[in-house]
Copies of this chain bind each other. A is one copy, B any other.
Amino acid sequence: MTRLPPLSDLSLSGPSLAALDARDPLAHKRAEFDLPADVVYLDGNSLGALPRHVPARLAQVATQEWGQHLIGSWTRGAQAAQDWMALPDRVAAKLAPLIGAQPQEVAVGDSTSVNTFKALAAALRLSGRRVILSDADNFPTDLYVAQGLARLLGDVEVRTAPAHAITDHLTDDVGALLLTEVDYRTGRRLDMRAVTAAAHAHGIVTVWDLAHSAGAFAVDLGGAGADFAIGCGYKFLNGGPGAPAFLYVAGRHLDRAEVVLSGWMGHADPFEMARQYAPAPGARRFVVGTPQVLSLSALDAALDVFGDVDLAALREKSLSLTDTFIRLMEPLTRQHPLELVTPLAHAERGSQVSYRHPDARRVMARLTGRGVIGDFRTPDILRFGFTPLYLSHEDVGRAVAGIEAVLNEQTGERA
């Protein structure tokens, strides 16, 4: 793999960006995505772009598997593991290497919110305690799910603390720690291994939300000693709008991880139609009802994009893109009320860069109008996501030029 030169070696003029792109070992992946020609898409951390081959797969599933083979598709091709029954397992097997998991530790299906509920409930039961601790600024649905579980159980407390000080709040009464590895607003990445170890020292079971991690860089759940994790298929995994989510449970917990959302698709023998629930042996038990096959097939196809991707190169390119963006934006932060909120240290950065701006909502609306698509996050965040599979350094240059034009336009209006 070609190493990208360190950013400090470069003058960041147009030709230099082109030079960086010329040495990009992932440059060929762009052609696997269908993106409008006139946009720079910096919102793949909200909805990943369309892999070109996905519509054909969807058409095949609809017209052939559903239309022609009908009910038979649930079991057809089972010996070659091509049946719909095993589709969640096939997707899990493709996803596992991206997150440092074994296939039998991963269940695919439902939404991230529903999987958070399953994981939190199982984590609390493993801990035998009644306190859920989370980041006060966690993505709201994580907090809502914790609040819902607490309402249901009655005697469970949801406690929050700032993510940067979370280790100060790891006490022996906390049962489950629910954290998002990369903050959806700031892009700050937590040290999963260190936080997990600190939690374990207090007997706390961890639930990591990988919404902004999976597919953005190599996640090593096994190496970090994580207990549970959840994440979504539609951001850096490019699985399509609302793509099925995933749940990870460490192999060491499989004999005791309890399923509270127990449905027939997670039963040890779904077609036995037994009256009593008996969990499937692996993480499959966390698959609940009948999977949404069309959406799941799109995710299955989308994951093939990662088949030939070196995850070290992916991370290296991600950092090169975000470094480049930060460097090119630097002069603008001196001329405009822009405050970088994403850490400069690589170890603390995901694959996004965010700035505060007092008029962020309007700035982003104008940027989008110019074809530079990021997003606004309340109250004052301009968020830019960088998907290494389909973005170039030249895209970064174009984005910054667009941002500069919009900011100057607004300054001109105020003057």
The interface of chain A, by Cβ under 8 A from chain B, is 34-36, 39, 41, 43, 46-47, 49-50, 54-55, 58-59, 61-63, 65-68, 70-74, 84, 110-114, 117, 121, 136, 139-141, 143-145, 147-149, 151-153, 160, 232, 234, 240-245, 258-265, 267, 271-277, 288-296, 298, 368, 373, 375, 377-378
Contacts and interface: CB of A to CB of B under 8 A. Distances in A.
25 contacts: A34-B67, A36-B68, A47-B71, A50-B63, A50-B67, A54-B62, A55-B59, A70-B373, A111-B292, A112-B289, A113-B264, A114-B261, A139-B264, A140-B273, A141-B264, A143-B276, A145-B261, A151-B262, A153-B153, A160-B275, A234-B290, A242-B293, A244-B292, A245-B289, A292-B294
B262 A147 contact: yes
A50 B66 contact: yes
A152 B151 contact: no
A290 B232 contact: yes
- From A59, A63, A242, A378, name the one whose CB has the most chain B CB atoms within 10 angstroms: A242
B289 A141 contact: yes
Contacts of A153: 152-153
A326 to B, nearest CB: 22
A47 B68 contact: no
Given A62-B58, A111-B110, A114-B261, A294 B298 contact: yes
A267 B140 contact: yes
Contacts of A277: 140, 143-144, 147-148
Given A114-B263, A140-B274, 19 more contacts: A34-B67, A36-B70, A49-B70, A55-B59, A58-B59, A58-B294, A66-B241, A71-B373, A113-B263, A139-B264, A140-B267, A141-B263, A147-B276, A148-B261, A240-B294, A241-B294, A242-B294, A271-B378, A294-B298
